[in-house]
Structure 1
């Protein structure tokens, strides 16, 4: 099976929030199924924010988002803790660079590390 470096599942968040939205949980259920097939693969969960707020604040918020997704995958679908690493990128890698405050910049992405 060919490994993809980037798994482009975007989990969206409300403004100034690290709470997992109910409408985003089905995406995580799909991600969970994929992860269970790929036992032994380590995934990085990368949190992002829009450009509202200070850089240190956004770095912390992005990490909280990644940690919340990690917690959800471990507690609700039994992904092993060791398979998931959470990091926060703050506002440094906007999905929509033309509009740094755009909703789609508030997200969590996944990367398979192998």
Structure 2
């Protein structure tokens, strides 16, 4: 009996630690369901005034580099977005005022929507082999009535924190660029931010592959 109990605990732990890469296999319907749950918990956390609810904690990140919230040379900042525009040239929003602390939504693993997109070393270029992963998200975004998505770049802890943060910013912006230019998603529905190594998916191993990911959050 003790052996069975211990085995059950081990199996439960393995399921709980399922890597983010497994989420690449979620169906469009499963992703849509998670995003709707995200939208609900973001609304609950904000309206309650507590800054958290089951499955979500709003975390103030005061030391985000201004580059994380500012546009690159090729991506301008939109003052506001209502989700109605379809012009691919419309600027993608930065996630926050670079002069203000960023409030980041730290979602429970079971609510996260992560894609493990493989980029080249020291590169933010999106390889053709990785585009099918985003084509699924394209279908999700087109079917969803969610107004605003945040695209979050994450890294593992290899390299310096500053380097990782900048690389995560560029990769999030590259994903957003593809969704706008190749998929036709309205740029007003997208925000981008890079969190570098701050919020690993696998907290037990900060250098694990599954920590290098792009996360999608349904804000409203």
**TM-score, normalising length: structure 2:** 0.48
Taking the TM superposition and a 5 Å limit, the aligned residue runs for 1:68-83 are: 68-83=174-189
Paired residues of 2:116 and 2:210 also in contact (CA < 8 A):
no
Give the deviation of 1:40 after TM superposition.
5.2
The runs of at least 4 aligned residues of structure 1 exceeding 6 Å deviation read none
**What is residue 61 of structure 1 aligned with on the other side?**
167
Over aligned residues, Cα RMSD in angstroms?
1.9
Matches of 2:143 and 2:156, distance apart in 1: 33
Unaligned runs of 5+ in 2: 1-31, 39-110
**What is residue 36 of structure 1 aligned with on the other side?**
142
Moved more, 103-112 or 38-47: 38-47
Pair 1:99-2:132 in alignment: no
Q: 1:92 to 1:19 in 2, by over 3 A?
A: same
Give the deviation of 1:9 after TM superposition.
3.5
Of 124, 128, 136 in structure 2, the residue corresponding to residue 18 of structure 1 is 124
Matches of 1:44 and 1:88, distance apart in 2: 10
Pair 1:4-2:110 in alignment: no
Larger Rg: 2
Pair 1:52-2:158 in alignment: yes
The alignment partner of 1:85 has SS state of strand
Unaligned runs of 5+ in 1: none
Q: 1:40 to 1:99 in 2, by over 3 A?
A: closer
Q: 1:72 to 1:4 in 2, by over 3 A?
A: same
